[in-house]
Amino acid sequence: MAAPTLKVSRGWSGLALGVRIAVLRLPGLTQVRWSRYGPEYQDPQIDKEYYRKPLAQLTEEETYERELRKTQVIKAAPATKTSSVFEDPVISKFTNMMMKGGNKILARSLMTQTLEAVKRKQFEKYHAASAEEQATIERNPYTIFHQALKNCEPVIGLVPILKGGHFYQVPVPLAERRRRFLAMKWMITECREKKPRRMLMPEKLSQELLEAFCNRGPVIKRKHDMHKMAEANRALAHYRWW
Amino acid sequence: IMLKGMTRLVSRVHKAKHGEQHVGQHYNISIQELKTVFPHGLPPRFVMQVKTFNEACLMVRKPALELLHYLKNTNFAHPAVRYVLYGEKGTGKTLSLCHIIHFCAKQDWLILHIPDAHLWVKNCRDLLQSTYNKQRFDQPLEASIWLKNFKTANERFLSQIKVQDKYVWNKRESTEKGSPLAEVVEQGIMRVRNATDAVGIVLKELKRQSSLGVFRLLVAVDGVNALWGRTTLKREDKSPITPEELALIYNLRKMVKNDWQGGAIVLTVSQTGSLFKPRKAYLPQELLGKEGFDTLDPFIPILVSNYNPKEFEGCIQYYLENNWLQHEKAHTEEGKKELLFLSNRNPGLLERLCAYL
């Protein structure tokens, strides 16, 4: 949002519901991107195994916890979180980031086609390789996906800090979620922009994922560029105060 | 031809001896045979699967077994019987048809296989006015592609069958009476303008000569409801063309009539490629329309349904043997129950689900 709009606060005027840093403290304006749930709402327990445990096997704390949950109010589970065995939070997040205009069906089909393409390519390689190499070739598209994104995560990032009227790019350690977000964002922008015409997204994405899995490719290069910039701006590290 | 059981045992069973106890098991077709018997006609996802696994395995299922039983007991003196495979989307009609075709090819029948009749009534780039009959239209591209594939599938028959009429193509070329059918096919492939007429001649000759008993003819058409529906093709003045006005369709309709002996006609009705038919329609009456149903009546309908539990298990075992299900959770009972629930034992859906798991 360009400017935070005025909304009626829920009676906890000014108190942050989560721990959100860098709140705009302009008078008369309250930030709006909070969740509508108050602090007493608990997160829903989606795990099937939790409910399948027979009552006899529970420890004292677990029985206490169950009794407690019976009295608490619980948030509604989002539609994307299922109790399916095949669900993967990383894949869901990536699909959401690929989505344009709310078209989740298209994003999800692109994701499944990408995983299928990765799998088929790896099977080709497997059948063409000799017996020793076959042991090293990874065919599970999910492990390839996770490993590729892990390889793309930068360790250190740059943050613009205002000092003396100028913005300096200061190297800063990144939080886990910021790193994951940057890896996924770079992967998606790379595939959208540097794609040859008439090549479809699943094919390009599968290519990029396989290259990132082997630590080659443009996304890994971008991560290394980020590291080099951070190394170059080492002297500005003192501008960080946290 | 190997039969893969539910366990890792591979037993060699001749296809002619497929029986009730083999339902749910897979049998292997070698890649060489695949290239000769099926130059066209396999569903595209199956072709991808063959390429990935380096082997072609079809599952033995009840509708195919039923049809094989009927075919083994056909009386070739009687007019050709029509069998119609129908079912919901993704239940395996096309692959059952391919099973039948492979069986007949092994038994040395002449296979007349039209992979998808819907491709002939839509998206045609060049429609020529037919040279033979001014009222009808020619489709040179589709006809020549079909002739090429027909040639690969039935090489050995083309030199044996002799044409019984003289056909004049143009001022300089003609085919004499008594020359082999291979010449007609060659002419159709060389001169693309006469390809549709070549197809018509091939169909007419085969129909005439199969009654003599020299060879047995199997007419296999996928998506036969295209012959009696509507087309999306238009003339230059934007008026729609009915299927009768297409020469290919007109000749094919004559083929599907049961006024000849010495073979069988196996048909499939499918909604997937069809034009102007609702998505949920799968019964022959709905898809063929009144005209088609009356022309095809009487026929033997064979329902192709979703997998039964044994077949489902067999399919999952096959994927596990080929290491296709890579997800760790897919090997567990939980995973299998989930796949069962998500796919409702529909073969097509199950294949798409397992592709990305």
CA distance B325 to B310: 19
Is A205 contained in some domain? yes
Give the C-alpha distances (Å, rounded to integers) separating B46 from A66, B302, B351: 50, 22, 9
Read off the pLDDT of residues B65-118 as tens digits, 9 standing for 90 and up: 999 999 989 888 889 999 999 999 999 999 999 999 999 998 889 999 999 999
Q: B332: which chain A residues are within 8 Å (Cβ-Cβ)?
A: 85
Average pLDDT across chain B, whole number: 88
pLDDT of residue B15: 55
Tally of CB atoms within 10 A around B22: 19
DSSP H or E stretch at residue A212: helix A201-213
Identify the CATH number of the domain defined by range B77-303.
3.40.50
Can you spell out the DSSP letters for B133-179?
-TTSEE-HHHHHHHHHHHHHHTHHHHHH-B--S-EE-SSS-EE-TT-
CB distance B62 to B36 below 8 Å: no
pLDDT of residue B17: 64
pLDDT in tens, chain A (242 residues): 444 444 444 444 444 444 444 555 666 666 667 788 888 999 999 988 888 888 777 788 888 888 899 999 999 999 989 888 898 999 999 999 999 999 999 999 999 999 999 999 999 999 999 889 999 999 999 999 999 999 999 999 999 999 999 999 999 999 999 999 999 999 999 999 988 888 999 999 999 999 999 999 999 999 999 999 999 999 999 998 88
Structure tokens at A7: 């909304």
Binning pLDDT at 50, 70 and 90, where does residue B1 land?
Answer: very low
CATH number at residue A88: 1.10.455.10
User: Which residue, among B303, B305, B217, B295, has the nearest Cα to B260 in the 3D structure?
Assistant: B217
Residue A99 domain boundaries: 48-239
pLDDT of residue A177: 92
Total structural domains within chain A: 1
pLDDT of residue B343: 93
Q: A121: which chain B residues are within 8 Å (Cβ-Cβ)?
A: none
3-state secondary structure of B342: helix
pLDDT of residue B320: 92
User: Is a pLDDT exceeding 50 seen at residue B293?
Assistant: yes
Contact B326 A124 (CB under 8 A): no
pTM of the prediction? 0.87
Contact B356 A119 (CB under 8 A): yes
Is A12 contained in some domain? no
Is A204 contained in some domain? yes
CA distance B354 to B346: 12
Read off the pLDDT of residues B154-195 as tens digits, 9 standing for 90 and up: 888 888 888 888 888 888 888 888 888 888 898 889 988 889
Contact A119 B355 (CB under 8 A): yes
Question: Among A27-31, B31-35, B242-246, B265-269, where is mean pLDDT lowest?
Answer: A27-31
CB distance B257 to B73 below 8 Å: no
User: Is a pLDDT exceeding 60 seen at residue B300?
Assistant: yes
Determine the residue of chain B that is closest to A118 in CA distance.
B356
Domain with CATH 3.40.50 in chain B: 77-303
In this complex, which of B54, B323, B338 lies closest to A85 when CB atoms are compared?
B338
pLDDT of residue A30: 65
Read off the pLDDT of residues B76-87 as tens digits, 9 standing for 90 and up: 888 999 999 999
pLDDT of residue A7: 46
Q: Which of A141-145, B225-229, B288-292 has the highest mean pLDDT?
A: A141-145
Is A35 contained in some domain? no
pLDDT of residue B16: 55
CB distance A188 to A110 below 8 Å: no
Contact B356 A115 (CB under 8 A): yes
In this complex, which of A84, A124, A139 lies closest to B326 when CB atoms are compared?
A139
Is A42 contained in some domain? no
Is A107 contained in some domain? yes
What secondary structure letter does DSSP report for A43? P
In this complex, which of A84, A112, A123 lies closest to B356 when CB atoms are compared?
A112
CB distance A160 to A167 below 8 Å: yes
User: Who contacts A120 (Cβ-Cβ below 8 Å, separation ≥6)?
Assistant: B48, B52
Q: Which position has the token pair 């592609």?
A: B145
Q: B356: which chain A residues are within 8 Å (Cβ-Cβ)?
A: 112-113, 115-116, 119, 141
What secondary structure letter does DSSP report for A141? H
User: Is a pLDDT exceeding 80 seen at residue B251?
Assistant: yes
Question: How confident is the model over B268-297, as a mean pLDDT?
Answer: 90
CB distance B306 to B344 below 8 Å: yes
pLDDT of residue B129: 87
Tally of CB atoms within 10 A around B99: 24
Residues in chain A whose beta carbon is closer than 8 A to a beta carbon of chain B? 84-86, 112-113, 115-116, 119-120, 123-124, 127, 139-142
Is A24 contained in some domain? no
Residues in chain B whose beta carbon is closer than 8 A to a beta carbon of chain A? 48, 52-54, 323, 326-330, 332, 334-335, 338, 355-357
Is A22 contained in some domain? no
Structure tokens at B278: 């609702």
**What is the distance in angstroms between the CA of the first residue and the CA of the last residue of chain A?**
27
Environment class of B274 (CB within 10 Å of its CB; exposed 0-12, middle 13-18, buried 19+)? buried
- 3-state percent helix, strand, coil for chain A, nearest multiple of 5: 50, 5, 40
Which stretches of chain B are DSSP H helices? 31-37, 44-53, 62-72, 93-106, 140-153, 155-160, 181-190, 195-210, 247-256, 284-296, 309-321, 333-343, 347-355
In this complex, which of B53, B323, B338 lies closest to A86 when CB atoms are compared?
B338
User: Which residue, among B49, B64, B60, B50, has the nearest Cα to B96 in the 3D structure?
Assistant: B64
Query: What is the ipTM, given to two decimal places?
Result: 0.89
CA distance B138 to A28: 76
pLDDT of residue B20: 75
User: Which residue, among A90, A214, A51, has the nearest Cα to A148 in the 3D structure?
Assistant: A214
Determine the residue of chain B that is closest to A109 in CA distance.
B356
In this complex, which of A84, A113, A127 lies closest to B54 when CB atoms are compared?
A127
Structure tokens at B184: 């007609």
User: Which residue, among B43, B133, B125, has the nearest Cα to B91 in the 3D structure?
Assistant: B43
Contact B335 A86 (CB under 8 A): yes
Handedness of CA B299, B305, B310, B314 (dihedral sign): positive
Which amino acid makes up residue B12?
R
Cis peptide bond N-terminal to A218, omega within 30: no
Contact B326 A119 (CB under 8 A): yes
pLDDT of residue B347: 94
